[in-house]
Amino acid sequence: MRQFFERYQMPAIGLVSALLITALVMLSAQVPPLSVYGVLLTGSFSTPTRFADMLMLAAPLLLCAVGLTSSFAAGQYNLGIEGQMTIGGVAAMAVLRWYVDAPFVAFWWLGALVAGAVMGGIWALLVAALKHYTRVSEIFAGLGLNFVALGVSLYLVFGPWKRPGVASMSGTEPLPEALWLTTIAGTRLAWLTPLVAIAVCVVVWWLLRRTHWGLQVRASGLSPLASERFQVPATRRMFEAMWLAGASAGLAGALQILGLYHALVPNVASGIGLMGLLVALIARADIRWVAPIALMFATLTAGSIQLPLALAVDSSISGVLQGVLVLAMIVSRAMTRQRGRA
């Protein structure tokens, strides 16, 4: 009991102070905090449609965040996650464009998902290669490649894959309806999307926590030099862990195309990757926390979409709350650690 108290005391204080700080921000903009929190927390559960939309946000977010636990374990700040997700979407679309009316639509789904994962992973390998061979920090390599990925998808949407007639930001010609992932009764919930996300979550957890490979990744993340000395191929493990992160994000991009957009839109990732980084930063050491935190962040974001209509409040307050929360959690973790040392 005492141990439980000591372990969760600081995070609890962090959570409360994050809520208080964000409330202060709201008050400074003359917005009533309690009603805003009400909409943020319950908005996603008010109707089945909204709940479905929340899950469709939570799934790609979970995929990105869980992939990032792999690159974090290898000691890399993979800021290129947005680009990896975008390229995953592009690759999926490249496959789906070849669609001919065939009896097994599931093969096309599988092909798109595999293509998305592979290409997302390759995009992450670019970051790893820039880091290892040219010593460009993965932060800047990743960010730069995000813009390049955006350029690629823009080029395709406005160039070779543009709609007959006029090209627009709304994306390419929609896919034939036979290719759309099947949804549950009247909502946008494509059941395959969250299912894949959960499956990947379990696989990554198992790889990182229960295999020799995962142990080596974590060791090389803590100290590449020391692990090389213990015969761990640290560089190789770094590349593999980055690939896994990119593949997971690429899968998210492919699922967005198949299940949500049904076309290639210019910005497939639209900030989900960066939000995944926030989720991974809170959970960091423990993959089991990734899913609940991703669910919470998706709830807040999906809830915030109703703020402008319900209370005439800008929806970016959910981003403020998420940012403050992550900072509070990082700080509280450090304080718990310091207290443990004393």
Partner 1 sequence: MNESQLLTDMAAIIAMSAPLLLATMGVLIGERAGVINLSVDGSMLLAGMTGFAVALTSGSVVLGFVAAALVGAIVATLVAYLGISMRLSQTAVGFVLALLCTDLSSFLGNPYVQQQGPAVPAWDVPVLAEIPVIGPLLFQHDVVIYTSMMVVLVLAWVLRATRVGLLVRGVGERPDALFARGIDVVRMRYVAVIVGGVLIGLAGAAYTLDLKQGWTYRHIAGTGWIALAIVIFGAWQPARIALGCYLFAVLQVMSSRMQANTWEIPTQVLQVAPFVVMIVVLAIVNSMGTPWMQRFLAHAPARVRRILTRISQPAPAALGQPFEQQ
Between the two ends of the chain, the Cα-to-Cα distance in Å is 20
Closest CA to 253 of 89, 97, 113: 89
> What stretches of the chain show up as alpha helix (H) in DSSP?
2-28, 33-42, 48-73, 81-96, 105-134, 138-158, 192-210, 212-222, 224-229, 234-255, 272-283, 290-304, 307-311, 317-341
Q: With binding defined as CB under 8 A, does residue 316 bind partner 1?
A: yes
Among 133, 165, 166, 340, which residue interacts with partner 1 (rule: CB under 8 A)? Answer: 133
Among 10, 54, 79, 283, which residue interacts with partner 1 (rule: CB under 8 A)? Answer: 79
Q: What is the DSSP letter of 187?
A: S
CA 114 – CA 223 distance, rounded (Å): 32
Q: With binding defined as CB under 8 A, does residue 147 bind partner 1?
A: yes
Closest CA to 109 of 11, 1, 219, 251: 251
Give the residue with the Cβ less far from partner 1, 158 or 191. Answer: 158
CB of 244 to partner 1, least distance (A): 21
- 156 to 195: interface string for partner 1, x by CB under 8 A: --xx-------x----------------------------
Among 9, 173, 330, 336, which residue interacts with partner 1 (rule: CB under 8 A)? Answer: 330
Give the residue with the Cβ less far from partner 1, 125 or 330. Answer: 330
Coil, strand or helix: which one is 183?
Answer: strand
Give the residue with the Cβ less far from partner 1, 19 or 136. Answer: 136
Angle, CA 341 vertex, CA 336 and CA 342 arms, to 5°: 100
Contacts of 309 (CB under 8 A, 6+ apart): none
Query: Quick one: which segment of 38-46, 84-92, 255-263, 322-330 binds partner 1 (CB under 8 A)?
Result: 322-330
Q: With binding defined as CB under 8 A, does residue 314 bind partner 1?
A: yes
Q: With binding defined as CB under 8 A, does residue 18 bind partner 1?
A: no
Among 105, 154, 198, 311, which residue interacts with partner 1 (rule: CB under 8 A)? Answer: 154
The residues binding partner 1 (CB under 8 A) are 25, 28-29, 77, 79, 130, 133-137, 139-141, 143-145, 147-148, 150-151, 154-155, 158-159, 167, 266, 274, 277-278, 281, 314, 316-320, 322-324, 326-327, 330-331, 334
